Structure 1
Amino acid sequence: MSYRVIDVAGDIGLRAEGRTLQECFVNAGLGLYSLITDLNQIKQKQQIEIEIAEESIEILLVSYLNELIFKFDAYGFIGNAIDLTIERNTLKALVYGETFDPKKHERRLLIKAATYHNLIIKQENTHWIAEIIFDI
């Protein structure tokens, strides 16, 4: 995993990296989940599918992260492993995890949404970098 928290006044940011664009997106998703709870406490009891098509890679990243937030808010689903492909601005992902249980899962931050504020996604030399800020 390659992600770290970025200190942002009033919100929380995340920097994700990967050797490929797909790996960068996976690490962004796992980084998001790590803001919500301890990933080591999640069991892979179920899986969800996500498919999103957008006009740009930036919109695709924000839509993908907001879909993960929606699945958590609406269904309590939290993951700790993601298989993901991106082809022509279409993302397909299988996310493995379980339903969040406050009796066994630590509650960290309540993430409201991924934002476009100061959004960065770029390829640098041999790897991809994404920086995203979340409303909390």
Structure 2
Amino acid sequence: MGYRMLEHMTDALVEVEADTLEEAFALAAKALVDVMVDVSKVEERLEIMLEAYGHDLENLLYNWLEQVMIALVSDHIAMSRFNTRIEVGDYDDGRYRITAKAYGEALNLEKHNYKVEIKGVTYHMMSVENVEGKYRLRFLLDL
């Protein structure tokens, strides 16, 4: 289980595979951070809470990755681990909700070996599938 970068001409195409949906979303967040900085150099010095909603799983993935990107780019927090929880509830007519504790530290471009700027998350080529009991996510990051 884990994530990998797939071949793409100009952007970052990521594939995640995990046993649970929560683990898949946690790995997707880690992969996004790893596209921009070296996630292996991020220490767990602080904890932040993240939350996102979606009307389906693809929309939840998109909104989740946007929240991770905001924390990374706008709040300058590099994260290396995510404890996620996904629920379907009565929040606003049965939408999905993800909450997470994210662990990391203040972003330091030199320490974390800045790689590339992510312009945004896209819906292009995005999928959330359950294949033979494993969850597989794919998403494209616009670089």
TM tier relative to shorter chain: over 0.9
* Maintained 8 Å contact 1:120/1:132: yes
Per the alignment, in what secondary structure is the counterpart of residue 8 of structure 1? coil
Deviation at 1:33, TM superposition (A): 1.1
**Aligned-pair distance for 1:103?**
2.9
Greater than 2 Å deviation, 4+ residue runs: none
Q: Partners of 1:82 and 1:67 in 2: how far apart?
A: 12
| Seq. identity, % | 24
TM-score (norm 1): 0.95
Unaligned runs of 5+ in 1: none
Q: Is the 8 A contact 1:69 1:112 kept in 2?
A: no
What are the within-5 Å matches in structure 2 for residues 39-54 of structure 1?
39-54=39-54
Question: What are the ranges of 5 or more consecutive residues in structure 2 without an aligned counterpart?
Answer: 89-95
Contact kept? 1:51, 1:91, Cα under 8 Å = yes
SS at match of 1:84: strand
Q: Give me the whole-angstrom Cα distance separating, in 2, the residues matched to 1:108 and 1:115.
A: 19
TM-score (norm 2): 0.91
Instruction: Indicate the RMSD between aligned Cα atoms, in angstroms.
Output: 1.0
| Residue pairs, 1:50-65, within 5 angstroms | 50-65=50-65
Paired residue type of 1:81: R
